[in-house]
Structure 1
Amino acid sequence: MKLALLLGGALAPLAFAVPAFAQTAPPEGPVTAVEDVIVTGQPALRNRTDDIVPTLSYDLDYFQRFEPLTVGDALKRVPSVAFLSDILESDGVRLRGLEPGYTKILIDGEEVPGGGVDRSFFVDRIPAELIERVEVVRSSSANRSGDAVAGTINIVLRDALSLDGGYVRLGAIAFPDSAYGQFGGTYGAVWGGQVGPGRLVVGTNVQDRRNPKDKFSQRFDEPGGTLDNTEVQTDVRDGTDYGFNAGYEVEVGGGTLDLSGVFVRTDRFQDEGSIEYRGGIENAANLLTVNDNDLDIRTDNLSLRGRYEREMLGGETTFKLAYASIDDEQYEFESESEYLRDAIIFPEEDRFTLDSTFVDIQDEEWKGAVEHKIDLSNGLDLEFGVQVNSKERESLVAETPRIRFNVPNAPAPRPAVPAFGPATAVPGGDSSIEETRIDPYVMVSGENGAFAWEAGLRYETTDVTIVDRTVAPALQTTENDYAELLPSFSARIRVSETERIIFSAARTVRRPNFNRLSPALLEEEFGDEDFVGNPNLQPETSVGFDLGLERRLGRRGIAGINVFWREIDNLVEEVNTGLEGSAGPGTSIYTVDNVGGGSVSGVEFDLSTPLDFIGMESTGVFLNYSWLDSSIRDIFGSRRFNDQSDYVLNFGLTQDIPTWGAAFGATYRKQGDAGSRVLARELVTSYGPDLEIFIEKQIGSNIVVRLTGSNLLDSSKDEVFDKFDSVDDQRNRDYDEYELETESAGPVYQLVMRVAF
């Protein structure tokens, strides 16, 4: 029933559009011909945009040949995009290597809420089949939200003018190295055309997602010390993604009305099983624990948008109204049998433990805007407006009472497992946040010969009400407000017919993570150290610069190099309250405050071109490399920003064979090491290289068949953990545990057929 209501919401604007404007004259013919709905026949390149703000644009032809399942899979080939996900996963975008909360994710130019506590949106929630192009906006403009320190990813879906005709996509997915199920399916259809007085586009997609992985851990008492235990783990993530989008565009009342909606459901089950062995001796006599951890996830994302543009008041006025929501429901169940607690060995377990956790996050945003643009003549344009955003977030994390019992020290009938009791919210787990923003802005842009520029001011006001129902009544409600003035400037200089320089400077913000705002006390959150949030946190602020040079290569190629720098103030960092922790002497209660500062810098190079300048016009290459660096000081001293990779490298080649109606290609990706240091724990993450290939054949005039393979090098993820009981132990390098973990997965193959009509 809930799915039907959400789909109805996505379709409702379209249902109302046709009868309401039945007397309006239809627009002129289609923009895209039928033969263009399937990408084939020429090398895939990135676009050269005319935006003054530095923007990289990648159309569908840059991604489609490798048949990515999600937007995250597609973004793996984009400069400076890193992920810190499991193998075969691409969820939280880490633009320029920074945490996902530093990157703004937009769908069709509108903000979307995410389920993460850092306000980030997982891009693997959007099937790649729904997108028209992806834009990477490296700097900010006054007419967009300023919470984009690292930059903005704008996911542009197919609109009503993009197609005249459509196609059907049918495919099979194979996991030949998996012992947990080897096949899945992927199905989709897209159609666009004239409906009544306007144009309609509809798309739907259903695809299986399966990610079987193996993990192995070794745990020592310290680096180079005694091996305490090993853990052998399997992790199978099995699910299905459902996607639907629609758009309707019509001329009405002297203007253009654009209505669109997208709904995506992620239905996923994660099954993790592990066995621990004493001293690394993997036999029954040294069995320590057997663990089964299951997680059932259902996430619904809905985004609806209405936009009306018309000429009035001496210029062009735009009215916007949008609604976006995420409904994330999770149920986690964990059972563990412990052995070797006495002289009785396997299979008579010494202790049996059951845990159960419920998560329900509902985040809704209403957005509205009135914007006006006036031509001031002499090449000058004035744009001003006000944007309003109202967010309501309800979060519930609840646990049932832990069930734990010991088995007698002699063989005996095992007691029956009792039923779970009622679930209760964990500390900080029952909360609501209301956030209202009113953001006026003004922007002036101009162009004079080879020089184009824009300058703007944005004033973001934020009123926040935080309610935590797990703390004492006197602490349950906190109100906070802040305002930031965000200037921005960008310029584009045409040096020659083939070269141009792009410069930008902007002030941006990052609002606090939701989990940092709760006043609830979390006992032993970091080793033996307690933690309490700070509902009065202010946003982090940043001043940044980008300076780039682009050069056109031949008729369609492009190469670019960009240098960036960000100075970030008011960083949210952990501080000691001076109060003793719940674990007693030697431990403390920590909180967070705006006390830090740091800088981020890097150099980004990208190349995308056919080799027509050497007579190989059917051969295309792309290469991008980003060198990333940062500096920050925490309570231990200097470090990089947490989890920022050293570099990101992508290299690819496509070769078309026009006489055969065929093509093939490959792409290689490598991401540098990423380090992290928090209270009582340090981590270094390394990834192996990733290789993907495709082979395609066109059949007749309207069918293309592709075979793709990914993770062909059996890439691994390796992690090194330094764990401590307390901050003092961390300073003194007195280890609680030193762990080495590796995670691996096999290749994935897809066979996909597209039929155009």
Structure 2
Amino acid sequence: MRLALLLGAALAPLALAGVAQAQTSASAANGPTTALSEVIVTGRPVLRNRTDDVVPTLSYDLEYFQRFEPLTVGDALKRVPSVTFLSDVLESDGVRLRGLDPGYTQILINGERVPGSGVDRSFFVDRIPAELIERVEVVRSSSANRSGDAVAGTINIVLRDALALDGGYVRLGAINFPDSDHGRWGGTYGAVWGGQVGPGRLLLGANVQDRRNPKLKYSQRFDEPGDPIDNSEVQSDTRDGTDYSFNGAYQVDVGGGELQLAGAFVRTDRIQDEHSTEYDGGVETEANIVSINDNDLDIRTDNLSLRARYDHDMFGGRTRFKLGYANIRDDQYETEYESEYLRDGTPYPDEDRFTADAADERIRDEEISGALEHDRDLAGDMELEFGVQWNRKDRDSLIAEAPRIRFNVPNAPGVRPALAPFDPFEAVPGGDSTIEETRIDPYVMLSGEQGAMKWEAGLRYETTDTTVTANTNEPGDPVVMETTENDYGFLLPSASLRYRLSDSDRLILSVARTVRRPNFDRLSPALLKEEFGDDDFLGNPDLQPESAWGIDLGFERRLGRRGVVGLNAFYRDITDLVEETNTAVEGSGGPGTYVYTVDNVGDGRVWGVEFDLSTPLDFIGMESTGVFLNYSWLDSSIKDHMGDRRFNGQSDYVMSVGFTQDMPTWGAAFGASYRKQGDAHDRVLAEEVRTSYGADLEVFIEKQLFDNVVIRLTGSNLLDSSKDEVFDKFDSAGDQIARDYDQYELETESAGPVYQLVMRVAF
């Protein structure tokens, strides 16, 4: 029914615009060509680019995603091979390339690293509006001239530069959430302009968009599998916010060289509002209410990225000077209020106990980077590139909690004292920390081309000096700050080869060594009580990075003039995995509990096969029809305290398939995209989780109204996708091994569709 309504609404502008199209088609060439190409119907399918890179790279221009009107880069990446997420429904934040934890994937903006708020050093790609990007590159292996933090691979988000646009356009749109508050509406607005300013070229862009994610959650809890239901919980969870972004770039010739200046700023304002009611025995009536909970989280995140680059011919080649600054300011204030009933047998609304908690988290992470690089041609069609890259990170974290407020009010509704302001906030153990990290990474790389073969080989040496300062005291105790230092270096060889088998076929082989640096929270020397059930946890500042040797072997064939099909197999051998280990010291919970820490004690393997197809159907006379199909089969093996398992959170497959149909004579197009990812399993100390997702269906239909105006209607999550989780919870690691349950829980989360109506006007 929803799909029928969507298509019906989309056909209205087709009919209304027929006369306008006839009147304006003759003047279609009068506007600024580059700006118009950003908004008009192309008349032919937009496909994946076939890059000339030696390192296996998949490249997708914005037009590949734009017709489905993704709000964020995360939404866009759902149509890219081997990208999975373990986010909530309608959320696409931490990229799990090849199904691995986000810390294994390197996120670059314009080829440069950016800090994120996550303790695993990952960057949430849903912080970047899709409207800012020029293209997205998926780099499957590594090269010596890029940071080696790319065990799973690299996502390079290329923003528009000063040469990207001649003219401008305005984007106006409305977003409808029919399952939220009787059909809640939001807006999306943006403008981009590029052109000649003085001696150089300037690009400016701004974007504001509402984001809303209303979900419903339902949980059932049991003492252990097969037992009668102990309690159930009904929960509403709404993420409501607005994203603001601004980007600019200027490019000009200076002193015989080329100077590029660029910057981007993104602000996310969001409220996460959760309301839940828990029922005894799963009987969902007022008489069986156990508790009512109100949990609010106020988030404000600012990302700033500035960069300068100067290229000049000198010393017989081309020299590049780079300077960059990036920071993230993440503030999160959380409150939780809970009213409890039935503690004395008296049912709702007689409140027995009221509890209030509050937490305040502030992260300031900034990086200053620089590079001096030089490349020059050598004899025999070879090129030499060498340089040194430098990076300084300063990360300050403050995670504080207020003393819990609790009132016991048996059989006396309405007599609870007024809630006083939360005060004072005190840092939790390890919550007041500073991390200083300095990297100096020299590299050298040689590349060349001989007949049908193109190749590159390089060597990179990454050095890291880290200083960690953190409080190790309990709240209320005298403040004790402990400082530890650690340094290490890694030699990272890499080599890639591309061999042209024919005019249509080519073979690509790549071998590289990569690293993953430890999570920030694992470096803190603070003791966290009951972090894993009843067991405690103590960080390890002496952790070394994990390292991996990887190989990618791919085959790619051109289909017709513009289509491409590829098949790639990959393998990663990861050593020095950071795993939890038992110190044998008794924990704060007494006999039977322990203090756990982490160390470089494990090894693991990751492998898979990736298939991607992107082609028009011109070989059967349908040159205006484009199809795409991506399928990745993923697997891994690792040993933990219970034996063999996959890497945590790795889905066993991910698939996306879709089509676009252009109608050039009507100035219209439509299409659909379907996505599904397999189950993922997590096993950590004292808890195990199995996660399953439903399928996601998106459709669009667009119409060119005038020579410079396009209107597009899209619908996403049309199958009301759900996220289903199964939790096996234990009091300790020992109980987990013995399968002595603390709790067994089933949880499902669902959300409804989202519709967008967007108009772009070029000028």
User: Structure 1 length as normaliser, TM-score?
Assistant: 0.95
Aligned residue for 2:574, secondary structure, equals: strand
Aligned residue for 2:79, secondary structure, equals: coil
Aligned residue for 2:180, secondary structure, equals: coil
Question: 1:165 Cα shift?
Answer: 0.5
Change over 3 Å in CA distance of 1:534–1:729 after alignment to 2 = same
Identity %: 74
**Contact 2:51–2:57 at 8 Å: present in 1 too?**
yes
**Counterpart AA for 2:698:** E
Change over 3 Å in CA distance of 1:34–1:345 after alignment to 2 = closer
**Contact 1:31–1:161 at 8 Å: present in 2 too?**
no
Question: 1:728 Cα shift?
Answer: 1.0
**Contact 2:471–2:526 at 8 Å: present in 1 too?**
no
Unpaired runs of 5+ in structure 2?
A: 1-30
- C-alpha distance in 2, partners of 1:297/1:474? 29
Partner of 1:477: 483
Question: 1:60 Cα shift?
Answer: 1.0
**Counterpart AA for 1:249:** Q
- C-alpha distance in 2, partners of 1:430/1:76? 36
Instruction: Give per-residue Cα distances to partners, 1:546-565, cap 9 Å, x unaligned.
Output: 00000000000000000000
**Contact 2:89–2:750 at 8 Å: present in 1 too?**
yes
- C-alpha distance in 2, partners of 1:206/1:417? 37
Query: Is 2:42 the counterpart of 1:36?
Result: no
Question: 1:412 Cα shift?
Answer: 6.7
**Contact 2:351–2:411 at 8 Å: present in 1 too?**
no
Partner of 1:203: 205
Aligned residue for 1:660, secondary structure, equals: coil
Query: Is 2:377 the counterpart of 1:375?
Result: yes
**Counterpart AA for 1:339:** Y
Aligned residue for 1:417, secondary structure, equals: coil
Q: How does 1:255-654 map to 2 (within 5 A)?
A: 255-410=257-412, 413-471=415-473, 476-654=482-660
Instruction: Give per-residue Cα distances to partners, 1:330-382, cap 9 Å, x unaligned.
Output: 10010000111103221121110000000100000000000000101211000
**Counterpart AA for 2:437:** E
**Contact 1:180–1:212 at 8 Å: present in 2 too?**
no
**Contact 2:472–2:480 at 8 Å: present in 1 too?**
no
Instruction: Give per-residue Cα distances to partners, 1:110-143, cap 9 Å, x unaligned.
Output: 1000000000000000000000000000000000
Partner of 1:3: none
Instruction: Give per-residue Cα distances to partners, 1:173-213, cap 9 Å, x unaligned.
Output: 00112127610000001110000000001111000000000
Instruction: Give per-residue Cα distances to partners, 1:404-445, cap 9 Å, x unaligned.
Output: 110034567332223322100001100000000000000000
Question: 1:39 Cα shift?
Answer: 5.3
**Counterpart AA for 1:583:** G
Question: 1:475 Cα shift?
Answer: 6.5
Partner of 1:16: none
**Contact 1:39–1:65 at 8 Å: present in 2 too?**
no
Change over 3 Å in CA distance of 1:474–1:221 after alignment to 2 = closer
Partner of 2:693: 687
Unpaired runs of 5+ in structure 1?
A: 1-29
Query: Is 2:226 the counterpart of 1:224?
Result: yes
**Counterpart AA for 1:752:** V
- C-alpha distance in 2, partners of 1:412/1:745? 36
**Counterpart AA for 1:392:** D
Instruction: Give per-residue Cα distances to partners, 1:540-597, cap 9 Å, x unaligned.
Output: 0000000000000000000000000000000000000000010111110000000000
**Counterpart AA for 2:48:** R
- C-alpha distance in 1, partners of 2:36/2:738? 67
Instruction: Give per-residue Cα distances to partners, 1:227-252, cap 9 Å, x unaligned.
Output: 00000000011000001100000011
User: Structure 2 length as normaliser, TM-score?
Assistant: 0.94
Instruction: Give per-residue Cα distances to partners, 1:455-505, cap 9 Å, x unaligned.
Output: 000000000000003349887000000000000000000000000000000
Change over 3 Å in CA distance of 1:465–1:309 after alignment to 2 = same
Partner of 1:65: 67
**Contact 1:425–1:470 at 8 Å: present in 2 too?**
no
**Contact 1:206–1:241 at 8 Å: present in 2 too?**
yes
- C-alpha distance in 1, partners of 2:468/2:55? 36
Partner of 2:10: none
Partner of 1:143: 145
Aligned-pair Cα RMSD in Å:
1.2
Partner of 1:674: 680
**Contact 2:711–2:758 at 8 Å: present in 1 too?**
yes
- C-alpha distance in 1, partners of 2:618/2:421? 70
Partner of 2:235: 233
Question: 1:47 Cα shift?
Answer: 0.2
- Name the structure, 1 or 2, with higher relative contact order (CA <8 Å, separation 6+): 2
Change over 3 Å in CA distance of 1:412–1:112 after alignment to 2 = closer
Which residue among 160, 163, 169 is the counterpart of 2:162? 160
Partner of 2:760: 754
**Counterpart AA for 1:521:** L
- C-alpha distance in 1, partners of 2:564/2:413? 74
Query: Is 2:662 the counterpart of 1:656?
Result: yes
- C-alpha distance in 2, partners of 1:495/1:296? 56
Change over 3 Å in CA distance of 1:590–1:225 after alignment to 2 = same
Question: 1:32 Cα shift?
Answer: 6.4
- C-alpha distance in 2, partners of 1:322/1:163? 24
**Contact 1:344–1:410 at 8 Å: present in 2 too?**
no
Partner of 1:243: 245
Change over 3 Å in CA distance of 1:31–1:98 after alignment to 2 = farther
**Contact 2:351–2:412 at 8 Å: present in 1 too?**
no
Aligned residue for 1:76, secondary structure, equals: helix
**Counterpart AA for 1:351:** R
- C-alpha distance in 2, partners of 1:412/1:496? 82
- C-alpha distance in 1, partners of 2:370/2:216? 47
Number of aligned residue pairs: 728
